[in-house]
Chain A
């Protein structure tokens, strides 16, 4: 199952993740600058927070995506969008390429206000390290 994974380590005044979650799986206790906590038990993997978070700090991780592979859902706001099946460079928070990944889904919803959610599969050991991909700049290849 895809479950919430939050990487929002600084105390910034922000809480839309809390309000967008339909099942109350994200909480910020007390002051708005406190850090958000994700509750994996409650999370249904809907992905609303992934697209809504202005800090692009909410992810969904499925460690049992398929034998040896995990899936990671992350927000993506560059054009062109990747397409399903494409091989992409999966990157960590510092921009280091960790491994090749395969695009499994490209999700665009009206409610996401132009933020797409990309799901890629990567070897399981990278499940909690991947934060995005090298943007696709080759328009021709992407078509």
Chain B
């Protein structure tokens, strides 16, 4: 059965994570007819997997657990008359603002004056002998198992990567009762926040820096991994191999922006190592090389939920302004406020690199 009737909206947002919700709240609040599409059955993106308390400021709901922030944002979006269409996988975006999706049975067609893409990121994989064995999963998958499905995907874990994702997921695996044997990190030092690292080190978990995974092996699934020390070029050093018995390897080796839809829409792309790879060129209004396509969140550079939320808000305001639903004055004052908050999140030794990378990309947009 095909649903050929095309429904029109002022703003169509793809992806109901923190960026998409932030955009929906602002565009809905400004009075735009807003549709929020997501392929999952539940909105919230990764927020509902986040059972830890968030950093940030009051405006970012700091100190609140991620899933509760998700609930709050949802409530707000509903209050502002945002229409949700869940279980809708968007596969097409056309220059005239047509968005095509499927709910597995029907083809769904929508038309939007403004399109905000908040498609998020996908987890990077790592290739090594044995990486296709059952038991090698991504950290995000481990988190979904534990926090959403409430099952442990294994018993004895080795986590690869000590960025905040690796550290947080390790903590949550411990909370769920798993045995995390070690975290291994190729870099010479822990790459995530010290406070996250401290939580798991206090629990007795060793973070082995300067080490990489060489291989995983086992009969039908992972039974052991071999790790080794690396030199400054990240090449394994002969004779430093150790074997660790485990049944699960969780990979937390970074994220990449999910650019497929932006690519289908024809958005110009650029590359930023700091921000996670190839991503759409955009300005500080979150507009891409096409005025009617805006982006926000991890798609516009891998950062955090709080930055995603604020970028989403900015994109929502911008769309509303372009549609004539917000005066230039109102828009400018909101933009300044949001950009100030973002600048705060992007300062300090962890954030500063991202700020510079963002500014590079904004320059490309002019």
Interface positions of A (Cβ within 8 A of B)? 7-16, 19-20, 31-33, 52-57, 77-79, 91-95, 113-115, 131-135
Contact A12 B348 (CB under 8 A): yes
CB<8 Å pairs between A and B, sample of 21: A7-B198, A10-B195, A12-B350, A13-B306, A13-B346, A13-B347, A13-B348, A31-B344, A31-B347, A53-B53, A54-B195, A55-B55, A55-B196, A56-B195, A93-B198, A94-B201, A95-B201, A113-B65, A131-B202, A133-B202, A134-B204
A113–B53 touching, CB < 8 Å: yes
B343 shortest CB reach to chain A, Å: 9
Select the residue from B55, B65, B68, B196 with max chain A CB neighbours within 10 A: B55
What is the minimal beta-carbon distance from B337 to any residue of chain A, in angstroms? 14
On whether A54 and B55 interact (CB within 8 A), knowing A10-B349, A14-B62, the answer reads: yes
Known: A13-B348, A31-B347, A113-B64. 10 other contacts (CB 8 A): A12-B195, A13-B306, A13-B345, A13-B346, A33-B347, A52-B53, A57-B195, A77-B175, A79-B175, A94-B201
Q: A32-B57, A78-B203, A95-B204 are in contact. Are A20 and B198 (CB under 8 A)?
A: no
For chain B, the bracket of interface size reads 35 or more
Interface positions of B (Cβ within 8 A of A): 52-58, 62-65, 68, 174-175, 193-196, 198-199, 201-206, 306, 344-351
Least Cβ–Cβ distance between B275 and chain A, in angstroms:
17
For A7, the closest partner residue in chain B by CB is B198
CB atoms of A131 and B198 under 8 A apart: yes
Interface of A is mostly: loop
Chain A nearest CB from B190 CB (Å) reads: 11
| A19 to B68 Cα, complex, angstroms | 18
Q: Residue on A with the closest CB to B201? A: A95
CB distance from A7 to the nearest CB of B (A): 8
Bound state CA distance, A67 and B203, in angstroms? 29
> Which A residues are CB-close (under 8 A) to B205?
95
Nearest residue, chain A, Cβ from B304 = A13
A54 near B63 (CB under 8 angstroms)?
yes
Residue of B nearest to A57 (CB): B195
Look across to chain B and name the residue whose beta carbon is closest to the beta carbon of A54.
B53
| Set of chain B residues within 8 Å of A55, measured between Cβ atoms | 55, 193, 195-196, 198-199
Is there an interface contact between A91 and B193, defined as CB atoms closer than 8 Å?
no
- In-complex Cβ contact of A11 among B52, B174, B196, B350 (8 A): B350
Q: Are the CB atoms of B204 and A9 closer together than 8 Å?
A: no
